[in-house]
Amino acid sequence: MATAPLPPNPDSLLNTSITSELVSTHGLLPEEYEKIKKILDREPTLTELGIFSVMWSEHCSYKNSRPLLKLFPVEKADKNADVGKVLVKAGEENAGVIDIGDGWAIAFKIESHNHPSAVEPFEGAATGVGGIIRDIFTMGARPVLLTNSLRFGELNSKEVKRLFRGVVSGISHYGNCMGIPNLGGDIYFDECYEGNPLVNALCLGVLKHDDIKRGAASGVGNPVYYVGAATGRDGLGGASFASKELTEESQADKSPVQKGDPFMEKLLLEACLEMMAVPGLVVGIQDMGAAGLTCSTCETASRGNAGIEIELDLVPQRESGMNSYEIMLSESQERMLVIIPKGRESEIEEVFEKWDLHAVKVGEVTDGDRMVVKQHGVVVADIPALSLTDDGPVYTREGIEAEGIEELREWTPSELPDVDASSLDSTFRKLIAHPTIASKEWVWKQYDHMVMAGTSVEPGSDAGVVHLNLEGTEKILAISNDCNGRFCFLNPYRGGLISVAECVRNLVCSGARPLSITDNLNFGNPFKLDVYYTLAESIKGLAEGCRAFDLPIVGGNVSLYNETPEGAIDPTPVVSIVGIIESEEHITRQTCRRGDETLILLGGIPNELGGSQYLKLVHDLKTGDAPVVDLEKEKHQNEFVLGEISAGRVVAAHDVSDGGLLVAVAEMLFGEEETYGAKIVLPSSVSEGRLDEALFGESQGRILLAVEPEHIDEVFAAASEASVEAMPLASLSQDGEFSITIGKTNPLMTWKVSEIRSLWGTVIADIMDHENEGEI
């Protein structure tokens, strides 16, 4: 070894030599360890090994997904668009930033907290929300909305109910206290998520173009400040591999779960925004999330092409006797690293004193490229910063599709009994009362979705909508999340494409023009070639969708190893798309408002059944191919819908998705004030094919428009001119009856709509009221 070893660590327990066992318990491969030795030109210390292990983990380095992520468009193709220009690209900073016009911009991102939520649902979900909020205000943006994408096992066991209740109350606890409206999001219940729930949290903030902040350390001699909560031994369980070797005694004090303090974060948010408003006071700022101090110091140095040196004795500590390994790897929440110009120390300290928060100088920006960490004046880590952020390993594999999936795709329902008059009632009730389809009111009643006084479309519609009053300029944003894991399981490429296309459709139905996208890739173990295959194919599908709708990606998150002893979860590439609504009159909800509307179906009634909720629920089958997607047709149809909305001819619009056509029509009848009846008349040609395909197939590219009698002819004329496939499907009534007829025959079935609504509306609350029942 050419370079001399570092002096002994002040904590003798850390002066152990690095064994191959230690390397492997840190999740590093032998060749990765060799690379570390080459970079340092000596053996790493245990503290340094810990630092490398977190920075080279999938969470920080995207080592298994980075080459695939390059497929995503990161800039808007249409250079002449009024809005939607990318101001900060994906991967450059904590979150991407998109122009929304008039000098204003948005920063948004989605991030997972799946594994912590599986261990402790309340704190896991709460800290997930806290983490993503910090990512957004680090950019200089004021957070203005939250949403989540959640996945749980079937809601019939005590354990799933416990996880569901815990996650929802954790999200509610953190977001409500922060005072950021939560617009809901999407929730699916499927057995593949049992034991491995998905908790993906999104935050969106607004800022002026001139106020964008960067996470770069520059200016040699500039002080590095630690602000916010003190550091404790939180979250070391995540890195507990080393705990036994460290000390048996400290083990007892260690909490494997990070605990969130939303009050502290609210203060941190206000203090940071106040500090950022002082001209020139912030040189760089970075959130301390996972492995906070490690990640923030080396990333800011690396982005700033500088070195950084910190002294751990100066770091505010909540517990006594913490060693360098523990401090550098702690996942304590609500902390930030800030670099300010030398000489302006009193200004930052004044702001944080007002908010009763720590603001302590822990080090400074140095010449060169090294991240140097000292404790009691002794160097405990000395690493080239860039090696941690840019030189991590990258793996590409050739994925192989799992055996049997191709056969599943080729499956057809020919052997399956079709629904008929006798089974239609029970089938429809099963679907409408399944928690994936049923109303999620139980969830969003617990979220403060009205704080900030800007929410105009509450959770439960195709998209959430907020009004932003920006110093006199008004902007209206819509947001929606989507991903159907079953489609991705059967056909990961098409499933990825559908995630994007369906989410775009949701926004269009709410009157919004989609702007930009963030994604959360939830998959199993990428070392399994079949899992890697689904990851690669889904990304290709997502990327194709992004390009088709010209949606630059602003960043996102990759969560791998979502597995239980039963196997990997269904591939779940969640997307969330933000759109802009030009005028208040264009805001459109999914529910009817009058009772005399006609429902017009766009996109027809194709014969597809693959991957449907119906097959799963009624026949316990996860078979068939994911529905076909015709991107050109969809783009064209979306333009048509936006045109009809802006012409004032659409009362309500709803995307046909989970559960199929019958469910979608029913959902439109459940108005805010009233419940309407409807008479569905299917063309007699439907009786030539399968009825279950017509009623419960989940074919893509379909939108239901509710149109008042006086505009029906105009809408059909416009559709015919635009060559959009449109047909009258149902007429609304005030008689409280919901019926289906094929052609000119007698009704096949008639329901009391109020009964259907009550089933749909209360099923989740009823299940959760009996929390202690079910299989254990």
Partner 1 sequence: MKVAVIQFPGSNCDQDVYHSFARGIGVPTEMIWHKDEQLGEVDLVVIPGGFSYGDYLRCGAIARFSPIMKAVGEYADRGGLILGICNGFQILCEAGLLPGALIRNNCLEYRCMTPHLLIQDSTDTFNRNKIGQIIRLPIGHGEGNYRIDDEGLDRLERNEQILLRYCDEQGNLTEEANPNGSVNNIAGIRNERGNIFGMMPHPDRAFERFHPSMDGLPVMKAVLATKETVTVPI
Count of residues touching partner 1 (by CB under 8 A): 32
Segment lying near partner 1 (by CB under 8 A), choices 211-219, 348-356, 381-389, 750-758? 348-356
95 binds partner 1 (CB under 8 A): no
* Among 4-12, 332-340, 353-361, 617-625, the segment contacting partner 1 (CB under 8 A): 353-361
Radius of gyration of the chain (CA): 27
Nearest approach in angstroms of CB 613 to partner 1 is 28
In the list 16, 446, 564, 762, the residue contacting partner 1 (rule: CB under 8 A) is 446
Q: Is 586 a catalytic residue?
A: no
Span from 53-61, 373-381, 439-447, 488-496 in contact with partner 1 (CB under 8 A): 439-447
Check binding of 123 to partner 1 (CB under 8 A). Answer: no
Long-range CB contact pairs, 449-454, < 8 A, 24+? 449/181, 449/182, 449/183, 449/184, 450/181, 451/176, 451/179, 451/180, 451/181, 452/144, 452/179, 452/180, 452/181, 454/144, 454/181
Output DSSP code: residue 702: -
Catalytic position from the list 26, 59, 358, 467: 59
Given the complex with partner 1, which of 261 and 519 has the nearer CB atom?
261
Check binding of 655 to partner 1 (CB under 8 A). no
Burial of 673 (0-12, 13-18, 19+ CB in 10 A): exposed
Closest-CA residue to 155 (of 769, 609, 757): 769
Does residue number 179 form part of the binding site for partner 1 (CB under 8 A)?
Answer: yes
Closest distance to partner 1 from the beta carbon of 673 (Å): 9
Instruction: Give the C-alpha separation, 356 to 360, whole Å.
Output: 12
Rounded to whole angstroms, the Cα distance separating 76 from 84 reads 7
Q: Which is nearer to partner 1, 172 or 243 (CB)?
A: 172
The rounded Cα 250 to chain-centroid distance in angstroms is: 35
Look at residues 611, 646, 644 and name the one whose alpha carbon lies nearest to residue 625: 611
Candidate ranges 42-50, 62-70, 168-176, 502-510; the one touching partner 1 (CB under 8 A): 168-176
**Does 450 engage in binding with partner 1 (CB under 8 A)?**
yes
Q: How many CB atoms are closer than 10 A to CB 422?
A: 9
Q: Which of 354, 376, 752, 770 binds partner 1 (CB under 8 A)?
A: 354
Q: Distance (Å, rounded) from C-alpha 435 to C-alpha 448?
A: 21
| Residue 263 or 527 having the CB closest to partner 1 | 263
Closest residue by Cα to residue 678 from 713, 606, 719, 728 = 728
178 touching partner 1, by CB under 8 A: yes
Smallest distance from partner 1 to CB 670, Å: 16
The continuous run of DSSP H or E covering 411 comes out as: none
Determine if 318 is a binding residue for partner 1 (CB under 8 A): no
For the CB of residue 228, give the shortest distance to partner 1 in the complex, in Å. Answer: 14
What is the distance in angstroms between the CA of the first residue and the CA of the last residue of the chain?
57
Interaction of residue 308 with partner 1, rule CB under 8 A: no
Q: Which stretch binds partner 1 (CB under 8 A): 24-32, 453-461, 603-611, 614-622?
A: 453-461
Q: Which is nearer to partner 1, 458 or 625 (CB)?
A: 458
Q: Can you name the residues that pair with 653 across neighbouring β-strands?
A: 705
Contact between 447 and partner 1 per CB under 8 A:
yes
Q: Is 113 a catalytic residue?
A: yes
Q: Are 160 and 154 in contact (CB under 8 A)?
A: yes
Closer residue to partner 1 in complex, CB, 264/362: 264
Q: How far is the CB of 584 from partner 1 (least distance, A)?
A: 7
Binding part of the chain for partner 1, among 107-115, 237-245, 260-268, 603-611 by CB under 8 A, reads: 260-268
754 touches partner 1 by CB under 8 A: no
Residues in CB range of 74: below 8 A, 6 or more apart: 86, 89, 90, 91, 96, 552, 553
Element (DSSP H or E) covering residue 109 = strand 104-112
Nearer of residues 120 and 458 to partner 1, judged by Cβ: 458
Is the distance from CB of 42 to CB of 81 less than 8 angstroms?
no
Q: Considering the complex, what minimum distance in angstroms separates the CB of residue 270 from partner 1? A: 8
Q: Does 667 bind partner 1 (CB under 8 A)?
A: no
Contact 694, 609 (CB under 8 A): no
CA dihedral 282, 284, 288, 292 (to 10 degrees): -130
Whole-angstrom CA distances from 135 to 22, 100, 139, 432 are 32, 19, 7, 37
Strands (E), 358-460: 358-366, 370-375, 378-384, 455-457
127 binds partner 1 (CB under 8 A): no
| Nearest of 496, 711, 474 to residue 599 by alpha carbon | 711
What 3-state class would DSSP assign to 420? coil
Strand, coil or helix: 652: strand
Query: Among 226-234, 250-258, 441-449, 648-656, which window interacts with partner 1 (CB under 8 A)?
Result: 441-449
CB of 644 to partner 1, least distance (A): 21
Q: Considering the rule CB under 8 A, would residue 585 count as an interface residue with partner 1?
A: no
Q: Which is nearer to partner 1, 609 or 650 (CB)?
A: 650
Q: Which of 157, 169, 255, 423 binds partner 1 (CB under 8 A)?
A: 169
CB of 261 to partner 1, least distance (A): 7
Q: Which of 355, 489, 532, 738 binds partner 1 (CB under 8 A)?
A: 355
Minimum CB distance to partner 1, residue 445 (Å): 6
CA torsion sign, 763 to 765 to 767 to 769?
Answer: negative
**Binding map of partner 1 across residues 262-301, x = CB under 8 A, - = no contact:** xxx-xx----------------------------------
Asked whether 143 and 131 are in contact (CB, 8 A), the reply is no
Exposure string for 246-279, b = 16+ CB within 10 A, e = fewer? bbeebeeebbbbbebbbebbbbbbbbbbebbeee
- Subset of residues 464 to 493 that bind partner 1, contact rule: CB under 8 A: 467, 469
584 binds partner 1, rule: CB under 8 A: yes
Per CB under 8 A, residues contacting partner 1 are 169, 172-173, 176-179, 261-264, 266-267, 354-356, 444-453, 456, 458, 467, 469, 584, 587
Q: Which residues are catalytic?
A: 59, 113
